[in-house]
Amino acid sequence: VRLASAAAGIRYPNRQDLVLLELDPASHCAAVFTRNAFCAAPVTLARAHLATHSPRFLLVNSGNANAGTGTRGLDDARACCARLAELAGCEAEQVLPFSTGVIGEFLPVERFRAALPEALARLRADGWRPAAEAIRTTDTVAKGTTRRFDVRGIPVTITGIAKGAGMIRPDMATMLAFLATDAPVEQPVLQGLLAAAVAETFNRITVDGDTSTNDACVLIATGAAALPPIDRSDAEVYRMLAEQVHAVCLDLAQAIVRDGEGATKFITVRVSGAASEAECQTVAYTIAHSPLVKTACFASDPNWGRILAAVGRSGAAGLDIGQVAIHLDQTCVVRGGARSPDYREEQGRAVMGQEEFTIHVDLGRGTNATTLWTTDLSFDYVRINAEYRT
């Protein structure tokens, strides 16, 4: 995998806003996309290209989402892919386009295309960090991570980058994330690995409950490591790889939450004792999206009544609040649906004054559990989104 970034002047002059990622011809590629019915032109096109061709390039831009741009948006994305294919000597369908930035404006296709020769000339294997920088929008930090591990004495690497800070409630992945490994993995196995990891990482984070139109997460396996193809037939190696993919996705997903727009707190919401997996998620997301819970977190106010009220309105069928327990980190705040007798408010305030803490709700009626990660709701979230046009 080789990467390059360039300044195409898509939204601002002299800002790195274009990323090119070249795949070795022997690579396999798995991807998941937003489930938003209002998906962007590049998402539509990337899905179509992936269905029929083996990709050679990922072509990414920030500054403009090319969403809500109708058929012209599709034509624009096609024109950029075609120009890259022409320069690089591959088919246009072997280019997957990804865009992030403002919705509802047309891509500056000429400037975009004009930056491609320079980007091609700059491709290099150690280009991950500038690429992570170039895909940022409201992100305050670039997000990347690498894991190295041994499979039967052979070193294997997984590297990933991601962007995302607002409009974060992935119904797939969060905004854009690109991962690559030198492990040899065939496409269907790779897709399974990615889907399983995303379900428990990128799909378990939320900043504001707003799902982007452009979400995409791609996992590339180059096969450069001198190993036989990895699949479920070798359960131990498969599990090891799955754990590492999961770990890279979790690192990136949590990095997105930590960089959540206006976030001052990193909050883990854990729901256990639920009657079903769906119930876990309903309750956990209701807590994580409650503006009242989020502002209480911002204020370090252990306002457990708001948490209990969110649980109560979540719609979990036949829920008996009298069985509910709430812990803030290790402190039991609510037991049997009311204030725990030996709980003192200073304890809750101390937990919520930290930059990171866990809200754990046990529903007391089953064995299912889930965990997700979210932020508080601060003045800065309002400022950022009142000033910035997504």
Chain residues binding a copy of itself by CB under 8 A are 35-39, 65, 67-70, 72-73, 102-104, 166-167, 169, 171, 208-213, 289-292, 295-296, 298-299, 301, 303-306, 308-313, 316, 319-321, 324, 334, 336-339, 377-379, 381-383, 385-387, 389-390
Coil/strand/helix, residue 16: coil
Distances (CA, A) of 180 to 17, 160, 338: 21, 6, 49
Shortest spacing between CB 89 and a copy of itself, in angstroms: 34
Shortest spacing between CB 70 and a copy of itself, in angstroms: 3
**Closer CB to a copy of itself, residue 102 or residue 205?**
102
Q: Per the structure block, which two tokens stand in for 87?
A: 């320069």
Shortest spacing between CB 376 and a copy of itself, in angstroms: 9
Give the 3-state secondary structure of 222-247: CCCCCCCCCCCCCHHHHHHHHHHHHH
Give the active site residue among 69, 145, 174, 331. 174
**Of 350, 368, 370, residue with least CA distance to 360:** 370
266-274 vs 143-151, strand pairing mode: unpaired
Shortest spacing between CB 364 and a copy of itself, in angstroms: 13
Coil/strand/helix, residue 173: coil
Name the helix (H) or strand (E) containing 187.
helix 187-199
| Residues 359/287, Cβ–Cβ less than 8 Å | yes
How far is the C-alpha of 139 from the C-alpha of 166, rounded, in Å?
Answer: 8
**Closer CB to a copy of itself, residue 36 or residue 201?**
36
Is 174 an annotated catalytic residue? yes
**Closer CB to a copy of itself, residue 138 or residue 159?**
138
**Closer CB to a copy of itself, residue 28 or residue 306?**
306
Given the structure tokens 């990347």, which residue do they identify? 144
| Residues 248/230, Cβ–Cβ less than 8 Å | no
Shortest spacing between CB 103 and a copy of itself, in angstroms: 3
What are 144's strand-pairing partners?
A: 161
Active-site positions?
174
